[in-house]
Structures are given as structure tokens and as C-alpha cells.
Amino acid sequence: MLELKGIILHGGHGTRLRPLTHTGPKQLLPIANKPMSQYALEDLKNSGIIDIGIIIGGVYSEKVKEYYGTGEKFGVNITYIKQDSPKGISHAISLCKNFIGNDKFIVYLGDNVLRKDLVDYTKKFQSSDSDAMILLCKVKDAKRFGIAVLDKENPKKINQIIEKPKNPPSDLAVIGIYFLTPKIFNIINKLKPSWRGELEITDALQLLMDQKNKIEYDIVTGWWKDTGTPEDIIDANKLVLDSFDITNNEKNSKYPKNILIGKNCKISENSILKGPIIMGDNCVVSSATIGPNVSIGDNSILENCGIENSILMNDCKIISTTHIFDSIIANGSEIKKSTLDKKQQFLLGERSQVNL
């Protein structure tokens, strides 16, 4: 079986996720207490891919290197590839030509989270003679994505791939995981920038087909999330918590299996926990109602509050009677001084201070 290499795209400005991305790349934002790009890395590793290139760019590149390092602690070998400015997915792929050499490879967008692992898809691509393989998923709002149109007479064949059409002729989105061969590099050399000044991956795939190369596809079962907005991240957090086999480390834990509590946490008897919940280390919870669908980072202090369907990162402090829902609260943020028992929704960047 041929070896494959992996590419994780870790660039982009994350403008739709501000203020969360004012202090770091969007792909390091946590879902179920794990950076979203780590799901991509683990998917690649679990498919037998050890050599992984991470494409970085922008002012937060060092944060990516600081977290992943050489890849040793994750059981992979990481090579960092610099993209000076966000010129599109195809441009990013073109920078990997020397890293890839003659190998087949998988490109995984770092802000995509997939329910099903890549093992079966990878085996299919390794054993096939196709020049590319893409994964498709049925979506409700097809205008947001690149769309594949299948041949009506031969549904195994893709007729067309269109980037974010105004009137989508199909509900099959091309998800951000691409199985490619080195043929794609010559194709990208022939591309012209789109109206937004980028070399589009959809244009590269379409040109690959136009030149009579073989493209296969598979339909993703389960769910897939492109985490481009705060709502997408909160939804992905819920889906991951629902699908993870969350099991308590302590055999005699008084909490259900879908509640994972970290080390050295103190939770008062009058607090209520409703799973699924994942809580980091050294947290203090007093007279609070937490859950369902909540991720809490390390060293957080929660008193008198209610939290549901939300993500709290590390070192958060909420001492307030407010009920927080559908929120993302970044590292070191603090909410306090409320005597009102009312529902509130927040999107707070790092070290925010809120007095209600």
C-alpha cells in the first residue's frame, strides 16, 4: 500500500469569529476542550499518516508552532510551510510541492470537524487509480459551500463543481478534506485568481475533470461541520460532546458517564450538572447549574450561575446569577456583579471583563 502524506491548512484571518480571533488563529479555538485543528491531525494519524505539513500564516503562526511543536507528542512528524498571505486553498496546496514529492496526499482544512474518521476513505483512495477523491455531504444552506453536481444518468460521475453558487443546483457540499495526487500541482499552475483574488480549490478540481482526469467521491455519513461562525463552533461542540464516549476516570464517580471532570476540581453539593459536559483541571463550581452541552477549560471558577450549550476556555471566572446560553467565552474572561436571574448570550474575546 502506498504511503500518504497529510496537509493541514492553518491560515486565514477568521474575520467572522472576531473577537475570538483577535489573539490567535481560529483553528486553535477549542471544541470539547481540544483545538479544532487537533481533530484533523488525529484523523490523519489514525489513518496511518505520520508525515504532516501544517500551512501557517499571519501574526499567530508562532502559537501554532508552540502548540504542535515537532509533532512528537502527537505521534507524528510535522513540517511547517509558510503562506505569506491568504491567497486561497489551491495556492496553499501549491506551496507543498516539495514536501509532497511523488506521494499521494490528503488536504484537511483545520477548521473542519468530521464525525466519521478517515480510515475507510483513505484505504479506498490508496487502492484506487483516481487522480483525486472528494467527500460530499448533504447540507441545508448550499449557497455557503462549494457544490458538486452529479450526472443524472451516471450518478457515480461528477459533472460540475461550483464555488458558493447563488442558486445551487445541488445540495451536496464539497467538504474541506481533499484526497489528491501530485497531478494537482500542474493544474494549479494554470489557475487564475477568482473574483475574490484567490486560487480556488473548486476551480482546480473542475479543471482536473475538464482535462479528463479521474475524480471519485464518497458521501459522508454522520455529520460534518465547517466551523466558520460562532454558531457553527457551538453546534460542533454539542455534536462532539454527544458523539464522544465520555467516561469518567474515577470508577466510583457520582456523575454519569457523559460528564467528564478533570483533576483537582471542587464541585459543591448544591451544584447541578447535566451532561454532556467536559470540564478541565482545577475548576471550582459552587451553587451553579451546568449543562447540557458545555465545555469548560482549566482553572475556571463558576459561582451562582447557569451555563448551557456554551464553551468556556481556560481561566474564566463567572460569579453572577445570570444564566448563560449559546455563548463562547475566551481565556481569562470574567463576568460578575449581577443580581438579576436572567438569560444572557455572550461572545467574549480573551481577558474580557463584564459587570452586569
Give SS3 for 70. coil
The pLDDT assigned to 340 comes to 64
Give the model's confidence band at 247: pLDDT under 50 very low, under 70 low, under 90 confident, else very high.
Answer: low
Please give the grid coordinates belonging to residue 186: 500542474
The DSSP symbol for 191 reads -
The contacts of residue 49 (CB under 8 Å, 6+ apart) are 4, 5, 6, 76, 106, 122
The pLDDT assigned to 15 comes to 65
The pLDDT assigned to 151 comes to 81
Cis preceding-peptide flag for 230 (omega within 30 of 0): no
Give the model's confidence band at 246: pLDDT under 50 very low, under 70 low, under 90 confident, else very high.
Answer: low
Give the model's confidence band at 341: pLDDT under 50 very low, under 70 low, under 90 confident, else very high.
Answer: low
Please give the grid coordinates belonging to residue 243: 458523539
Tens of pLDDT, residue by residue over 144-171, are 888 888 888 887 888 888 888 888 888 8
Give the model's confidence band at 251: pLDDT under 50 very low, under 70 low, under 90 confident, else very high.
Answer: low
Q: What's the gap between Cα 186 and its chain centre?
A: 29
C-beta of residue 73 within 8 angstroms of C-beta of residue 130: no
CA angle 112, 115, 121 (to 5 degrees): 85
Question: In whole angstroms, what is the distance from residue 174 CA to residue 35 CA?
Answer: 23
Give the model's confidence band at 350: pLDDT under 50 very low, under 70 low, under 90 confident, else very high.
Answer: confident
Please give the grid coordinates belonging to residue 112: 473542519
- Give percent above pLDDT 90 in the chain: 52
Query: What domains lie within the chain, and their CATH numbers?
Result: 4-227 (3.90.550.10), 245-355 (2.160.10.10)
The pLDDT assigned to 11 comes to 72
Q: Find the Cα–Cα–Cα–Cα dihedral 50, 56, 59, 64, rounded to 10°.
A: -10
**18 compared with 102, residue with greater pLDDT:** 102
Tens of pLDDT, residue by residue over 193-208, are 888 888 889 899 999 9
pLDDT at 329 over 90: yes
The pLDDT assigned to 163 comes to 82
C-beta of residue 121 within 8 angstroms of C-beta of residue 22: no
The rounded mean pLDDT for the chain is: 88
Please give the grid coordinates belonging to residue 9: 491548512
pLDDT at 269 over 60: yes
pLDDT at 39 over 60: yes
Residue 67: exposure state from Cβ atoms within 10 A (0-12, 13-18, ≥19): middle
C-alpha R_g of the chain: 22
The pLDDT assigned to 47 comes to 92
Q: Which of 17-21, 24-28, 80-84, 318-322 has the lowest mean pLDDT?
A: 17-21
Q: Which of 124-133, 256-265, 292-301, 345-354 has the lowest mean pLDDT?
A: 345-354
Find the length of the chain. 356
Question: In whole angstroms, what is the distance from residue 351 CA to residue 332 CA?
Answer: 4
C-beta of residue 64 within 8 angstroms of C-beta of residue 21: no
CA angle 109, 86, 220 (to 5 degrees): 20
Judging by DSSP bridges, how do beta strands 172-180 and 104-109 pair with one another?
antiparallel
Question: In whole angstroms, what is the distance from residue 51 CA to residue 331 CA?
Answer: 31
Question: In whole angstroms, what is the distance from residue 283 CA to residue 303 CA?
Answer: 11
In this prediction the pTM is 0.90
**221 compared with 318, residue with greater pLDDT:** 318
The pLDDT assigned to 154 comes to 81
